[in-house]
Chain A
Amino acid sequence: MTERERFAQIAKQCEAALMRAALRLCRGGNDCAQELVQEALVRGYEAFRAGKFREGFSPSAWLTRILTNNFINEYRRKQKWDAGVDVDTLTAGGEVGPESTRARASEVPESALLEGEFDEPLEKALNALPEGLRIVVLLVDVEERSYQEAAELLKIPVGTVRSRLSRARYALQDMLKEYARNRRIIS
């Protein structure tokens, strides 16, 4: 089996996981997600040929890291990072920022698609977080990267990662509690 055939096999196994991760990063935007996966598979093959994939790595976790890194670099390149809202001054003590600072469902690209793809309260709550908080949760909690690694990738201090993470987690808890209340899961 050639190197390319081996990588094609890995890519096939990981495609669904990559698409899920990409849709999460793109807040459900299918075009954006398709582009991210395409780019990750090309960059992944480049890295694979360079011997950067080692035995014992989880192929899916490895390719997801490449995908997320590309997303962050591309986002930064487009200078959209934290645009409009300063997430570090917006909220205090773990509360979610004022309603006026959060994106409405209609403003989130293809949010209807996301609702169809991920009918999960946690996914919806994640989607409702401001971008600067959301990306830190995706890196540290979902992808299980260290604070240091997240800080380096986002080019922000470790203390900022720590405080954003705390605010994001409390905001997620509040949203999930609200969801449970609305569904009358809790009183």
Chain B
Amino acid sequence: MKNWLYQWLDSLFPHTKDSETPCPHMKGVLSELSDDTASGPKRWYAVQHVAGCPGCSRTLERLRLLRQRLQGLNREAEPSEKEKVMPLSPERRAAVEAAWAKLDETSPR
């Protein structure tokens, strides 16, 4: 059973009845829950709220999935054929090598 403090706090805000939409006062904190940066009383309240609110619970789940997908963009695995990108042009590569050589000359180890 939820304690009186939570029930009192929760009664202060308007809630959505929609199971697809988060409650308006929860949008920011759900974003913080999705990356585990919410802390203290805010986190305590949010965790309890999400447990009993289908709209916020669904939104949190989606935000977490979104974050996973975004993290996946930085993956080091071999890209698929579709994702293969153009390599550095020969001119750029030559400029990089010249800059490296210059660095070695100006400040030898």
Q: List A residues at the B interface (Cβ < 8 Å).
A: 3-4, 7-8, 11, 15-17, 19-21, 23-24, 30, 34-35, 37-38, 41-42, 45-46, 49, 58, 60-61, 64, 93-94, 117-120, 122-123, 137, 140-144, 147, 162-163, 165-166, 169-170, 172-173, 176
Give the complex CA separation of A4 and B100 in angstroms. Answer: 8
7 A-B pairs with least C-beta separation = A166-B31, A141-B70, A19-B85, A42-B99, A38-B92, A41-B96, A94-B27
- Segment at the A interface, from B7-15, B49-57, B76-84: B76-84
The residues in B between 37 and 82 inclusive whose CB is less than 8 angstroms from any CB of A are 37, 62-63, 66-67, 69-71, 73-74, 76, 79, 82
* B contacts with A, residue count (CB < 8 A): 36
Quick check: B63 and A173 within 8 Å, CB to CB?
A: yes
Task: Give the Cβ gap from B63 to chain A, nearest Cβ, in Å.
Answer: 6
Q: Could you tell me the dominant secondary structure of chain A's interface residues?
A: helix
Contacts of A173 on B, CB cut-off 8 Å?
Answer: 62-63, 66
- Are B70 and A137 in contact, with the CB atoms below 8 A? yes
User: CB of B3 within 8 A of chain A?
Assistant: no
Question: Could you write out 12 A-B pairs with CB less than 8 Å apart?
Answer: A17-B74, A30-B86, A34-B88, A117-B83, A122-B70, A122-B73, A137-B70, A141-B35, A142-B71, A163-B28, A165-B31, A169-B66
| Chain B residues closer than 8 Å to A143, beta-carbon distance | 74
Chain B 87-104 interface 0/1 with A at a Cβ cutoff of 8 Å (1 = within)? 111001001100110011
* Contact residue among A34, A117, A144 (Cβ-Cβ distance under 8 Å from B89): A34
Contact B37 A119 (CB under 8 A): no
Please tell me if the beta carbons of B31 and A19 are within 8 angstroms of each other in the complex: no
- A30, chain B: closest CB distance, angstroms: 6
The reply to whether B67 and A15 contact each other, CB–CB distance below 8 Å, is no
Interface flag for B16 (CB, 8 Å) = no
- Chain B proximity of A91: nearest CB distance (Å): 12
Chain A residues with CB below 8 A from B96, complex form: 11, 38, 41-42
**Are B32 and A162 in contact (CB-based, < 8 A)?**
yes
With both beta carbons as reference points, the residue of chain B lying nearest to A50 in the complex is identified as B107
Query: Is residue B109 within 8 Å, beta carbon to beta carbon, of the partner chain?
Result: yes
